[in-house]
Structure 1
Amino acid sequence: MSFRQNLLRARGHIVMICALIAGLLLVLWLETLGEPEPDSTRNMAQDLMQPFESLSPLPLAIRGESSERDMKHARIAWTYFQNNVDEETGLANSVHNYPSTTMWETGSYIVAVLSAERLGLIDRAEAEARLGRVLSSLQSLRLFQDTLPNKAYQTRTLELVDYGNKPSELGLGWSALDVARIVGTLGLVERNHPELAGEVEKLLNHWQLDQMVQGGELIGTNVTAGEVRRNQEGRVGYEQYAAKAMMLFGYDVYRAYEVEDNLMVKQVEGQPIPVDSRLHRATTPAFVVSEPYLFDGLEFGFDDRSHRFATAIYRAQEARHAETGKLTAVTESHLAEAPYFAYSTVWGGGSPWAVMTFTGERIDSRRTLATKAAFGWDALFGTDYTTQLVDAVEAFADPEKGWPEGIYEETGEVNGSTTANTNAVVLAALAFKATGPLMRVVP
Structure 2
Amino acid sequence: MRLRQNLVRARGHIVFILGVIGGLMVVTWLEQAGPSAAGQAPVTPLAAIEAATPLPLAIRGASSAADLDHAAIAWTYFRNNIDPNTGLVHSVDGYPSTTMWETGSLIVAIVAAERLSLIDATEAKDRLAAILTSLDRLPLFQDSLPNKAYDTRTLKMVDYANRPTDLGLGWSALDVARLMAALAIARAAHPDMAPAIAAATDDWRLDRMVRDGQLYGASVVDAEVRENQEGRLSYEQYAAKAMMLSGFDMVRAYDPADSAIIQPVMGQDIPVDTRLHRGRIPAFVVSEPYLFDGLEFGFDARSSRIASAVYLAQQARHDQTGHLTAVTETHLDEAPFFAYSTVWGGGAPWSVLTFQGDRIDSRRTLATKAAFGWDALYGTPYTAQLVEAVVPTADPRRGWPEGIYEVDGTTNASITANTNALVLAALAFKAAGPLLRGAP
Give me the TM-score of the superposition, normalised by structure 1. Answer: 0.89
Pair 1:294 & 2:294 matched: no
The residue number in structure 2 matching 1:342 is 339
Q: 1:239 aligns with which of 233, 236, 240?
A: 236
The residue number in structure 2 matching 1:441 is 438
The residue number in structure 1 matching 2:83 is 86
Q: Determine the C-alpha separation between the residues in 2 that align with 1:247 and 1:200.
A: 16
Per-residue CA distance 1:241-286 (angstroms, 9 max, x = gap): 0000000010011111010000011000000011000001111000
CA displacement at 1:54 relative to structure 2: 2.4
Pair 1:200 & 2:230 matched: no
Per-residue CA distance 1:151-174 (angstroms, 9 max, x = gap): 000000001000000111100000
The residue number in structure 2 matching 1:165 is 162
Pair 1:127 & 2:127 matched: no
Q: Determine the C-alpha separation between the residues in 1 that align with 2:370 and 2:157.
A: 31
User: SS of the residue aligned with 2:201?
Assistant: helix
Q: 2:423 aligns with which of 396, 401, 426?
A: 426
Pair 1:375 & 2:384 matched: no
CA displacement at 1:205 relative to structure 2: 1.8
Q: Determine the C-alpha separation between the residues in 1 that align with 2:279 and 2:94.
A: 34
The residue number in structure 1 matching 2:65 is 68
The residue number in structure 1 matching 2:40 is none
Pair 1:332 & 2:329 matched: yes
The residue number in structure 2 matching 1:320 is 317
Q: Determine the C-alpha separation between the residues in 2 that align with 1:149 and 1:389.
A: 36
Q: 2:150 aligns with which of 135, 150, 153?
A: 153
Per-residue CA distance 1:68-91 (angstroms, 9 max, x = gap): 000000000000000000001000
Q: Determine the C-alpha separation between the residues in 2 that align with 1:292 and 1:50.
A: 21
Alignment of 1:98-113 (within 5 A): 98-113=95-110
Which contiguous aligned blocks of 4+ residues in structure 1 show a shift greater than 2 angstroms?
none
Counterpart amino acid of residue 389 in structure 1: L
User: SS of the residue aligned with 1:439?
Assistant: helix
Q: Determine the C-alpha separation between the residues in 1 that align with 2:380 and 2:293.
A: 19
Q: Determine the C-alpha separation between the residues in 2 that align with 1:203 and 1:218.
A: 21
Structure number with larger C-alpha Rg:
1
User: SS of the residue aligned with 1:78?
Assistant: helix
Unpaired runs of 5+ residues, structure 2, are 1-42
Counterpart amino acid of residue 356 in structure 1: L
Count matched residues: 398
Q: Determine the C-alpha separation between the residues in 2 that align with 1:339 and 1:309.
A: 30
Pair 1:308 & 2:305 matched: yes
Identity, in percent, stands at: 65
Pair 1:144 & 2:144 matched: no
Q: Determine the C-alpha separation between the residues in 2 that align with 1:154 and 1:195.
A: 29
Give me the TM-score of the superposition, normalised by structure 2. Answer: 0.90
User: SS of the residue aligned with 1:266?
Assistant: strand
User: SS of the residue aligned with 1:170?
Assistant: coil
Q: Determine the C-alpha separation between the residues in 2 that align with 1:282 and 1:219.
A: 14
Per-residue CA distance 1:310-330 (angstroms, 9 max, x = gap): 000000000000000000000
Alignment of 1:192-231 (within 5 A): 192-231=189-228
CA contact (8 A) 2:185 2:438 kept: no
User: SS of the residue aligned with 2:228?
Assistant: strand
Unpaired runs of 5+ residues, structure 1, are 1-45
Counterpart amino acid of residue 121 in structure 1: L
